[in-house]
Amino acid sequence: MQSRLGTKYLAALSAPPLGALPAAVRVLLLLAALLFAAPPAGASPKSEQPIPAATLALMEARDTTPDAPILMRAFKKESEIEVWKRNRSGRYVFLKSFPICRWSGKLGPKVAQGDRQSPEGFYSVGPRQMNPNSAYYLSFDTGFPNAYDKAHGASGSALMVHGTCSSAGCYAMTDKGVAEIFALAREALRGGQNAFQFQAYPFKMTAQNLARYRADPNIGFWRQLKEGFDRFEATGEELGVGVVNGRYVFAPSSDPANEALALDRRTREQERIASYIGLGSAAVRTVYSDGGQNPYFTALLRKGADLGMVSRPETLAYAGIDEVLTPARGLCARKGGCPDMVLRGQAASKSADAQKPASPPPEARIVFSAGRVIAIRTTEPITLMPMLLSYKLSLPMPPQTIIAGAMPILPDAWF
């Protein structure tokens, strides 16, 4: 807006009616043009970068605008941040996702200062949390600790979404990645949004994942996050989040139709979780030496790309290893894992058992458990020994979030 105003004033100087004005008047007009074209006081030029044209085109296709409210969701295991925008109908719609170059710690909430944990939970980011002069290019403070964190005695501060590729409890996006994220948030806040919601999850909160992680020590906390995740997916509304007796609670939708959708989805997801467990889903725990990285950046590193400062790169070879706590059985022991279906009632379960094919000969799989290497017999697909960064292997592009009505976005070069 500021640059357009400046252009407008400069164009006015050359217009025929102004050509006859005294030189002093024209100088004053020129000074006014420069004033309007300058960035706000305290802002650096990097913080005023425009939203890319391709992203503006996506907004138009989603029936939204740059100044419409925004919402973000971070997923550790998938190493990505999603950006959502509220469209003209009042519903938040998926805009695009950004790969995370580095997050630290492991799956689970942040507990104490210095534990290197990137936060999980529901946070609010206002204008004062935006930092245009960050030492990590650009950043915003996630708002940790929130009311839930404080209720559980968690400590820590300055947990950011920022540039570069180095993390000690933050979500590092590279300079190019955070520049666009910052611009998207900036325009929404300038458009009148008081604060935007930042939802941080350990992984995509699908029924299948909740079944797989049912034996993880954090499962009670993650079930609370799952409730908020499902409510947002069903209604497309920003969550009304509270904390009661040390637990997350969510306000019902003001729209009865949306509230019915939220309750229906919760019931269906609970049934799906039970169905996956009944089908024989493995129970796993995913372990990390110190956080992870989106496969997009891992592939770039293997090709020798310069991502700048990368924190603890040696730990990335041991990131995201599934430790099998309960091996898969039944239908879920087949190649490809559990079928993506919802089985309802005893008759459906009997039907599934009747269709179960003979299991192929089991193969040995190697996993890490309690600091030692053990071999187990199972056909459940699991992550095997890690590939070192020095290996010259080509990886597929990172998986894209596919949501009904959404457009998958493949990132450009982010370094």
Crossing angle of helices 23-37 and 2-13, rounded to 10°: 170
Out of 101, 152, 165, 170, the active site residue is 170
User: Nearest-CA neighbor of 262 among 238, 225, 233?
Assistant: 233
Angstrom CA distances, 218 to 129, 213, 222, 240, 286, stand at 29, 9, 6, 23, 12
Can 162 be counted among the known catalytic residues?
yes
Q: Could you report how far apart the first and last alpha carbons of the chain are, in Å?
A: 28
Can 332 be counted among the known catalytic residues?
no
Residue with tokens 């990137």: 118
Question: Which residues contact residue 144 at a Cβ distance below 8 angstroms, ignoring those fewer than 6 apart?
Answer: 110, 119, 121, 123, 154, 156, 157, 159
Helical residues (DSSP H) of 191-238, grouped into ranges: 207-212, 219-235
Residue with tokens 């020994």: 385
Strands 196-201, 121-125: parallel, antiparallel or unpaired by DSSP?
antiparallel
Three-class DSSP category at 170: coil
In one-letter notation, the amino acid at residue 76 is K
User: Could you tell me if 185 and 125 are in contact, meaning their C-beta atoms sit under 8 angstroms apart?
Assistant: yes
User: Nearest-CA neighbor of 359 among 321, 332, 392?
Assistant: 332
Taken as a whole, the chain contains a residue count of 415
User: Could you tell me if 200 and 119 are in contact, meaning their C-beta atoms sit under 8 angstroms apart?
Assistant: yes
In one-letter notation, the amino acid at residue 126 is G
User: Torsion angle of alpha carbons 216, 220, 225, 228, nearest 10°?
Assistant: 140
In which order are the strands placed within the sheet that holds 121-125? 92-99, 80-86, 70-75, 196-201, 121-125
The C-alpha atoms of residue 62 and residue 404 are separated, in whole angstroms, by: 12
User: Nearest-CA neighbor of 171 among 112, 118, 113, 98?
Assistant: 118
Out of 162, 165, 332, 338, the active site residue is 162
Three-class DSSP category at 393: coil
Phi, psi angle pair for 86, to nearest 5°? -80, 130
Residues noted as catalytic: 162, 170
